[in-house]
Amino acid sequence: MAKGLPGIGEKFRGAVQKTDQEKKIAELQAEVEHLRDMQSPELEAEIAQLREQLQNQSGETQIDLALIDPNPNQPRQTITAESIQAKARLLQKHGQITPIILVPQNNSRYILLDGQLRTEAAKLLQWKTIRAVVVPMPKDLDQSSLMTFLGFEDLNPLDKAEAIVKEIHKSTGLDADEISTTLATVLKRIERDSKSKELTKLVALSGLEQQQGLESLGVTGAEQDLLSIMLELGLNPASVKANLLPMLSLPDDLKDAIRKSGLKGAHALALATLSAKGLDIPEEKALIERANATKKVLTENLTVPETRDFIKQIKAKYLKSEKSESKEVKSVIQKINALSSASLADASNEQLKEFKALLQQKLAEIDEFFN
């Protein structure tokens, strides 16, 4: 070591103990550059030690991509080639801004907790390593993964719905249909009691306050278990019922469009009304209509209102609009029905002939509407 130069560990021991992490990192980075400027070969070992200290302070490290395994139970089941390519372009242009999050395994490998898209994009760019933060293995990896993904805007509603149902089933044993039925029942009762706002407010409260709030709403047993899980995940139960659970009942072609083509949930729900029952046509023909409509929605990037208007036009081709009842015709029917045999007997022959001819003419006109 060069004479007069204090040990690097001693020199920065006070800095390492400071609570301001950014200041520590900046100081350590500055010292690395200073030592480099001195161009002293004897300092290489201490520079390496300093870099390791800098890495520990930032909490980030470079991990070999070949050592990273996907989380088999991650909520995101949909990742398209287009989205990977788009992320790769951003990485190539701006570099990796945010580190991925990994949890260690016993075999010196890692499970990916957050950063699937960045990881796949890095592989596409043929990177050897990726910047990561390694965190301890959570007690419940599935729930931790779900919590990580729930706030992502690009997590499609179908993946989100399936992940939520899986988490609820794991904790309560309820299947998808039971979850839907139980949720609808408890929400209907809370709405009937005019306490829906009170339920929504519980999302932002602590776990203990949520339990106390549910008890004050008269929610117990399986209903309480169900709502507790949703609230713990930061979910509004009413929103789950209206926007997420219906995703599970979509026909397979629309589920595929969500996963593979990026069809939005609201668009899918609107397109689902183009069913055999909804159009009163055979299933095969309904599937063709729905496929063509889905293609138009995706190709032209229609908004939800535009999609609904387009669907109305399709329905108009198959469904005859029901005309409202005519008050005038109803009045005439009532008057004819009120004519008794005695009234007809009192009429002259000329009146009866005229009445008969008029009825025959109107019957002929009525027949025109059924031909």
Residue-level pLDDT at 335: 86
- The average pLDDT across 113-140 equals 83
Neighbour count for residue 192 (Cβ, 10 Å): 9
Q: What is the pLDDT of residue 359?
A: 84
**Residue 135 in contact with residue 113, Cβ under 8 Å?**
yes
- Taken in order 81, 87, 92, 96, the sign of the CA dihedral is negative
C-alpha dihedral (255, 258, 260, 261), degrees to nearest 10: 130
Task: Tell me the helices (H) and strands (E) count for the chain, helix number first.
Answer: 21, 5
Q: What is the pLDDT of residues 142-188, one digit of tens each?
A: 555 555 555 444 567 888 888 888 888 888 888 999 999 999 999 99
Question: Residue 267: left if φ>0, alpha if ψ -120 to 50, beta else—which one?
Answer: alpha
Q: Which residues, listed in sequence order, are joined to residue 64 by a DSSP beta bridge?
A: 129
Q: How does pLDDT run across 330-364, given as a tens digit for each residue?
A: 888 888 888 888 888 888 888 888 888 888 888 88
Mean pLDDT over each residue of the chain, to the nearest integer: 79
**pLDDT tops 70 at residue 23:** no
Residues, the chain: 371
3-class secondary structure, 80? coil
Q: How many CA atoms lie within 13 A of 151 on its CB side?
A: 6
**Quick check: 42 and 2 in contact, CB under 8 A?**
yes
Identify the pLDDT of residue 113: 78
- 107: pLDDT confidence band, cut at 50, 70 and 90? confident
**Does position 75 have pLDDT exceeding 70, yes or no?**
no
**Maximum Cα–Cα distance across the chain:** 139
For 211-270, the pLDDT digits (tens) are: 899 999 999 899 999 999 888 877 889 988 988 899 999 999 999 999 888 898 899 999
